[in-house]
Structure 1
Amino acid sequence: MTRRQARKRVLDCLYEASMGKDMDDFLVQYEDDKQYGFIRNFVDIVKKNTEFCDDIISRYSKNWELSRIGQVDKLILRMGISEIKAMKIDKRIAINEAVELAKTYSTEKSPAFINGILNRAAEDGDNTGGNGK
């Protein structure tokens, strides 16, 4: 499994959890994959930093309440912010991967929306909540 495919699994897991399903039950199917550690760590970091990510999303999504943003877009944004702020992934890679997820799994306007918020978030020096541990 590639890192891009692993990110898709992270999105799947976060979506399942947002629907009230148990993440561990979902993740068990990937335990034998070489990307399991990456997937598990990424999911844990996004969950730990949800409030921090939502604060950043709210700050940069002008005229959009967090509650109005689609669930898939919110999850992709949380993933991108977590990669940039907590996991210290190069912002170009994190943003590109988030935009690619949005192109495939969200609406036509979502990639530009996600790109804009993540670019602003990447330029923001606020790492106070981004905890990658």
Structure 2
Amino acid sequence: MKSQKRPRRIARELALLSLSQISGKPEKLAERQLNDLVVAALRTLRGEMQEALETAVAEVIRGSDRLKNSETNAATLSSARAMVTEAIELTQSAINRLGTAIDLPVFIQLAEERTQVRSYAVEIISTVYRRREEIDVILSEAIVNWQLNRLPKIDRDILRIAVAEILFLNTEEQVAINEAVELAKSYSDDEGRRLINGVLRRVSNKIETKAGV
């Protein structure tokens, strides 16, 4: 059995999940082994899973209290139903994170080029840290009617990885955008996916304009 994910796609996913857990110092990154990155990624997934479940429980409690403490009318029922629906979606998100936590080490173990997975994941993380200021300026200019620091952290990191690949890692713009959208399908929501796609399209257009394309 072989991994259906290409080494670079696995490396992007690994970089995204371990980015917040790994030191950005070049000398430290160079020493990181593949297992270090996997452990860091699993920590991130565990934290997201716990947060989703805690929020889901809070929504169920809120919905239950609203039904108990208010008169049973259409507005109250509708509100409580919305809370329960939100709780179900959050629980599903936590289950998906659990599935990813199980699958990720398997994908990496089955990858034919595990050395490439490690080296490219480290290269992405190192580049994002070293070029963070430049990357964030570019992204801030491409975000319409919003601020980069107000985006969910996972969305910011997906964007940063894509820009790092386009500008500093010689990845074709369309490939980087497509891969960012794929990451967003797994780790963001529909709104985040659309925002990421739109922001990166504007970044690409700006790069092409500067290049005189």
Specify if TM > 0.5: yes
Count of matched residue positions in the alignment of Structure 1 and Structure 2: 121
Q: Distance in 2 between matches of 1:75 and 1:15?
A: 9
Q: Distance in 1 between matches of 2:149 and 2:202?
A: 20
1:41 aligns with 2:123: yes
Which deviations, in whole Å up to 9, do the C-alpha atoms of 1:21-57 show, x marking residues without a partner? xx75xx4216893221111111111111111111111
Q: Shift of the alpha carbon at 1:17? A: 4.1
Whether the 8 Å contact between 2:7 and 2:114 is mirrored in structure 1 is: no
AA of the residue aligned to 1:2: P
Whether the 8 Å contact between 1:15 and 1:72 is mirrored in structure 2 is: no
AA of the residue aligned to 1:108: D
DSSP-derived class of the 1:88 partner: coil
1:59 aligns with 2:141: yes
2:199 is aligned to 117
Structure 2 residues not aligned, in runs of 5+: 1-5, 38-112, 209-213
TM-score (norm 1): 0.80
DSSP-derived class of the 2:207 partner: coil
1:6 is aligned to 11
Aligned residues: CA RMSD? 2.4
Task: Give runs of aligned pairs for residues 53-92 of structure 1, distance below 5 A.
Answer: 53-92=135-174
2:20 is aligned to 15
Deviates more, 1:92-101 or 1:107-116: 107-116
> Taking every aligned residue pair, what percent have the same amino acid on both sides?
33
More helix by share: 2
Structure 1 residues not aligned, in runs of 5+: 127-133
Highest CA radius of gyration, 1 or 2? 2
TM-score (norm 2): 0.52
